[in-house]
Amino acid sequence: MAVSRTASTAAVKAKKRVPAVRARTISPAAPIRIGDLSDFLGYSLKRAQLRIFDDFIGCVAALQLTPAQFSVLMLVEANPGRNQTEIASTLGILRPNFVAMLDELESRDLCVRVRSNSDRRSHILKLTDKGRAVLSRARKLIETRHEARLKDLLGEDNRTLLLAMLGKIAKEF
């Protein structure tokens, strides 16, 4: 059976466009070697942070809170009358990111910004009733699940020691 010249020319062009390349495959059983990377404290802290944040988010999934949002609500509750610049600065959150986060929290009726009486350029942050209720539920979930798992993993003495070491890095580094 003869193949038409047009059909055979098209087949040759198609073969030319897609070069045959054998892909190297890595066995899925072979883990990626990270070498000395695990000896760097920053790398290990970041890996631990990612795992901890994943667990945290899973614990409060029903409340749809991120670790940063939870931290903001905690500071607002503990520091009535403080302005948004002070809260953002304490948490190390850049102003544009903090404004967007507050917009989200306000849209969910968890907190409000109120213009300061002493400085009209400044906004005081306040939790709403719903914000206090969500924060209370989040605290219970985090204490009974997330922090309990970490305490079980590390033990109370190591947990206390780790908090002290991290605090030292945060204050003195």
| pLDDT at residue number 8 | 47
What are the boundaries of each domain within the chain? 49-172
pTM of the model: 0.78
Q: For the stretch 102-116, what's the b/e string if a residue is b when 16 or more beta carbons lie within 10 angstroms of its beta carbon?
A: beebeebebbbbeee
Contact present, 125 and 113 (Cβ < 8 Å) = yes
- Reading the chain (173 residues) residue by residue, the pLDDT tens digits are 454 444 444 444 444 555 555 656 656 788 899 999 999 999 999 999 999 999 999 999 999 999 999 999 999 999 998 999 999 999 999 999 999 999 999 999 999 999 988 887 889 999 999 999 999 999 999 999 999 999 999 999 999 999 999 999 999 98
Best CATH choice for the domain 49-172 from the list 3.40.50.620, 3.40.30.10, 1.10.10.10, 3.30.1490.20: 1.10.10.10
Torsion angle (degrees, nearest 10) of CA 125, 126, 128, 133? 100
